[in-house]
Chain A
């Protein structure tokens, strides 16, 4: 817009418009960019151990109201910089994390670890592209293949808080058994699977905090879009045997014991048994959707929503197995006879 045009506007709209324009200019000069992030995401770090803080996510599904901030993210302050575990759902969330971290420490962020390639855990990577972002190879592959779709999908679900978010692929490959030392903090990287094909847990041997990612859900229904339930159960059983003082689940409150692991395992056991029973009765997929949940599970946050999502993820294969089993019982020759 030229100076002449602007004068024309002033003349037509009068002093009120001029005042508004001046105010807008003053605000934009005042660095409104960073306060956008703070406006969407009011992140309050919860200190759970020495140098260790968690941002607890809303125990909800994605919505315009929560701007996608539904998972737990965390950071550890060390003399060698800050280690961040998961970056949240969006660029603005990642920026809000850095603002909140800056209020706790002057240490710069040194390292990011991503637990797995789900959109609420890694789409904040945009705000951390100046530091190494470590993840398992499977997480890197998934972020590369479907990251763009996940970001688009999330934009539809949570709206404008997603603006400026691209799926930044993690830049550093980490492996199960790797260790890393930052200041006095000795970190062990634990590569597992089950919730997705590649799940990273980070254990801080110095403080005894286990960052379990979405291997563990606590008082919030587990999600299953990329889950392999058998592998997940094996991972949960192995994790219960580990020593830790604090467990940070991917969703829900931090725990001093293995309750989130047990709860997640019990839920998955119930879910699969329920689906197998329904399939054995001949229930159709849509009928299973509306089954009532037992009280222990209907109490979980985001139920029955997550149960119904899991019907789509898990029931078709179980239903199909019930048809194949029937063939085996009756007459193997009758199975699959096309003509």
Chain B
């Protein structure tokens, strides 16, 4: 009986959902943000996979980027289950792909800051187990110049001795934990004259047994010395490890909440 009710509810939810584009029907839904790039974005990232705009996918960002080198964004999706992959992209960015997040034992939520080159939508697309992309987004207005500006570090060789240094902290949230960490890295985009692309390309958060809890794949637009905030479904100490596109590796243990 319960199963039947659930099936009926699910069917009702599907009927209420916005238009779903499937492999057979390559229609792309109308962009609520009305970006001229949306169709290109959909073709680039979703191919023939089903994609819907979903109000549960929240992208919190300032209406105007006060600091084009550090534009904060918080992505979350309470009520959306089974998210395997979070893709963050900015339609108008010279490097469109900002970050990929794979929550394994974690919520599909991540906070960080990125470099903004001009006014653009910032979007989060969340792929659920059924293969559907759920998309949310927000416009950010900007004076810009963030992506083509040299990093602060590129003018100061001190970063070389501190590359990969990590500061991290865990907060208990009942049975779960919030992890926030900062990694020293120039995160050079390669778009500033004479400075090659140099950025963290992979971060893994694991438990003491080495089981992966979440993976982050940052791309060039992520801000210098990035700070990431993620919500883990475990309440034990974790380890952080990562590497950049030049093969430098770094790792750090993170103890449990101090209070």
Contact = CB atoms under 8 A, between A and B. Distances in A.
Interface stretch (A10-18, A172-180, A325-333): A325-333
Contacts of A337: 165-166, 252-253
By secondary structure, the B interface counts as strand
Contact of B167 (A285, A287, A327): A327
B167 A335 contact: yes
Interface stretch (B8-16, B69-77, B81-89): B69-77
A338 B258 contact: no
Contact of B255 (A225, A308, A334): A334
A289 B254 CA distance: 27
A275 to B, nearest CB: 13
A282 B229 contact: yes
A323 B169 contact: yes
A304 to B, nearest CB: 11
13 contacts: A282-B169, A282-B180, A284-B227, A285-B74, A287-B74, A289-B60, A290-B60, A319-B180, A323-B169, A323-B181, A334-B255, A338-B164, A338-B252
Interface string A294-316: 00000000000000110111001
Given A311-B66, A319-B180, A338-B163, 14 more contacts: A156-B143, A282-B171, A284-B229, A286-B61, A289-B72, A309-B66, A311-B62, A316-B113, A320-B227, A323-B181, A330-B255, A330-B258, A337-B165, A337-B166
B178 interface: yes
B253 A336 contact: no
Interface in A151-181: 153, 156
B72 A285 contact: yes
Nearest to B227: A319
Nearest to A282: B171
Nearest to A327: B167
Interface of A: 153, 156, 225, 281-282, 284-287, 289-290, 308-309, 311-313, 316, 319-320, 322-324, 326-327, 329-331, 334-339
Interface string B231-259: 00000000000000000011111110010
Contacts of A308: 62, 66
A329 B258 contact: yes
Nearest to B252: A337
A311 B229 CA distance: 16
A323 B168 contact: yes
Contacts of A284: 72, 74, 111-112, 180, 227, 229
A289 B59 CA distance: 12
Contacts of A319: 180, 227
By secondary structure, the A interface counts as helix
Nearest to B168: A323
Contact of B227 (A153, A285, A287, A329): A285
Interface in B200-247: 227, 229
Contacts of A335: 167
Interface of B: 60-62, 66-67, 70, 72-74, 111-113, 143, 162-169, 171, 178, 180-182, 184, 227, 229, 249-255, 258
A335 B181 CA distance: 11
Contacts of B166: 336-338
Contacts of A290: 60
Contacts of B163: 338
A336 B163 CA distance: 10
A337 B166 CA distance: 7
A338 B111 contact: no
Interface centre among A322, A331, A337 (most CB of B within 10 A): A337
A336 B167 CA distance: 6
Contact of B62 (A312, A326, A331): A312
Nearest to A326: B169
Contacts of B255: 330-331, 334
Given A281-B171, A329-B258, A286 B60 contact: yes
Contacts of A309: 66
Interface centre among A284, A322, A327, A337 (most CB of B within 10 A): A284
Nearest to A338: B164
Given A284-B74, A285-B111, A336 B229 contact: no
Contacts of A313: 66-67
A282 B165 CA distance: 20
B72 A336 contact: no
Given A290-B60, A316-B70, A336 B165 contact: yes
